[in-house]
Amino acid sequence: MRITNPTIFYSVLLLALLHVGCKENKKESQSEMETVKTDSKQNPIEETVFGEMPDGTKVKKFTLKNEAGMEVDVITYGGIITRWTAPDKNGLYEDIVLGYDNLEQYLDGNPYFGALIGRYGNRIADGKFTLDGNTYNLATNDGDNHLHGGEKGFDKVLWTGVAKNNEDGASVELTYTSQDGEEGYPGKLDVKVTYTLTDDNELDIQYQAVTDKPTIVNLTQHSYFNLSGRLTEKVLDHELHLNADSFLPVDGGLIPTGELRQVSGTPFDFKEPKLIGAEIEADNEQLKLGLGYDHCWVLNQGEDDFSLAATVHHPKSGRFMEVYTNEPGMQFYSGNFLDGTLPAKNGGTYAQRSGFCLETQHFPDSPNQNDFPSVRLDPGETYASRTLYKLSTK
């Protein structure tokens, strides 16, 4: 069609220009939409029943999923991560955390597999500490010392779980109120832990707590990883890097002596990636005390406080994990007390050193060591801790 009337010609031209302009705008707003985070990503979160407590209370299981195909199962008993799948270099998703198939096994005796630890992750010497002149007595559930919150720590309580989709991914929010005096600790402590699985294969764990009396808090997560996906095999063939120039030597009860010792020239030097098995059997007094690695490393804090603390690479599968935290310490535990008696998820048993833990935390026994960063929490303050585990391959 030829347009001869100039008025019509210019009108058509104007319309055409407007149309192109609109298209350009649309394109812009579309690309804006891609980068703007939505309120709800609607990644699927499945909620099922994992089992029943002896009194009949149901324990829920939340399965967080992401677009990449990763899945993380979290139960309301102990806030335990019971399963976590990650791809190897060929894209094969396998479970990378030790644990059990059913609740009964968790209730039967569990070396803190996958659990939330509190009120105090790690040890307090003689189960005693003093705050504002008052001495508090805690359970001595690890020889003469207090370990991981006592007889019934946060790993053995029922949390309230709520599934949430937020802008970062699929989340489950766990809350628990620890009563004043529970396990000997002062103050009523309201705790919230949020696990969020992002589409970048990150599990972001955010901890918050408030108290109504001065108290102490040191929360952590106790997943035992085996990046090979062969959960009963030893992790000695994993390469570990710890961003730490020093570690805390311990006494016979695994209580820090108070010294910060340089790692250079010792089997505790993971400043460059090194096989976990490379020096674990070295003739070293500290390794003998821990039956392997069971020590807290003093992290080199990044400027923004939330920084890369550790990496682990399993060359055969290609799985690679990064750990970011705002905590000053990292307990690296090489699964030394696993003894081949506990039943594994896919058959067999968990051999010694078939899993490693990277527990981000304040230093062990801080309430009794004035030179360590404080673990005190006062009314009106909010305890906030964050750890992010990111999985990829290389």
User: Which residues are designated catalytic?
Assistant: 222, 359
| Among 249, 232, 198, 196, CA closest to 392 | 198
Q: Tell whether residue 268 is a contact of ligand BGC (CB under 6 A).
A: no
Q: How far is the CB of 382 from ligand BGC (least distance, A)?
A: 25
Q: How far is the CB of 318 from ligand BGC (least distance, A)?
A: 28
Kind and range of the H or E run holding 15: helix 6-35
Give the contact letters, 57-96, x = binds to ligand BGC (CB under 6 A), - = no: ----------------------------------------
Query: 196-232 burial string, b = 16+ CB within 10 Å, else e?
Result: bbbeebbbbbbbbbbbebebbbbbbbbbbbbbbbbbb
Among 59, 227, 235, 254, binds ligand BGC (CB under 6 A): 254
The Cα 75–Cα 50 span in angstroms is 7
Q: How far is the CB of 287 from ligand BGC (least distance, A)?
A: 13
C-beta separation of 80 from 113 below 8 A: yes
313-332 residues in contact with ligand BGC (CB under 6 A) are 331
Question: Which residues are within 8 A (CB) of 42 and not within 5 positions of it... i.e. 6 or more apart?
Answer: 165
| Among 222, 153, 223, CA closest to 191 | 153
Q: How far is the CB of 336 from ligand BGC (least distance, A)?
A: 7
339-378 residues in contact with ligand BGC (CB under 6 A) are 357, 359
Q: How far is the CB of 143 from ligand BGC (least distance, A)?
A: 11
Q: How far is the CB of 337 from ligand BGC (least distance, A)?
A: 5
The Cα 267–Cα 198 span in angstroms is 35
Residue 293, both tokens: 């690695």
Among 155, 294, 327, 365, binds ligand BGC (CB under 6 A): 294
Identity of the residue, 195 or 224, whose beta carbon is nearer to ligand BGC in the bound complex: 224
The Cα 262–Cα 268 span in angstroms is 9
| Among 331, 336, 312, 150, CA closest to 239 | 312
Q: Tell whether residue 333 is a contact of ligand BGC (CB under 6 A).
A: yes
Residue 139, both tokens: 């359970």
Identity of the residue, 215 or 221, whose beta carbon is nearer to ligand BGC in the bound complex: 221
Identity of the residue, 236 or 291, whose beta carbon is nearer to ligand BGC in the bound complex: 291
Identity of the residue, 186 or 290, whose beta carbon is nearer to ligand BGC in the bound complex: 290
The Cα 162–Cα 187 span in angstroms is 25
User: Binding-site residue total for ligand BGC (CB under 6 A)?
Assistant: 9
Q: Tell whether residue 247 is a contact of ligand BGC (CB under 6 A).
A: no
Q: Where are the alpha helices (DSSP H) in 103-152?
A: 103-108
Residue 72, both tokens: 């993380």
The Cα 93–Cα 228 span in angstroms is 11
Residue least distant from ligand BGC (Cβ)? 111
Identity of the residue, 155 or 202, whose beta carbon is nearer to ligand BGC in the bound complex: 155
Identity of the residue, 9 or 337, whose beta carbon is nearer to ligand BGC in the bound complex: 337
Give the contact letters, 102-141, x = binds to ligand BGC (CB under 6 A), - = no: ---------xx-----------------------------
Which residues make up the interface to ligand BGC (CB under 6 A)? 111-112, 254, 294, 331, 333, 337, 357, 359
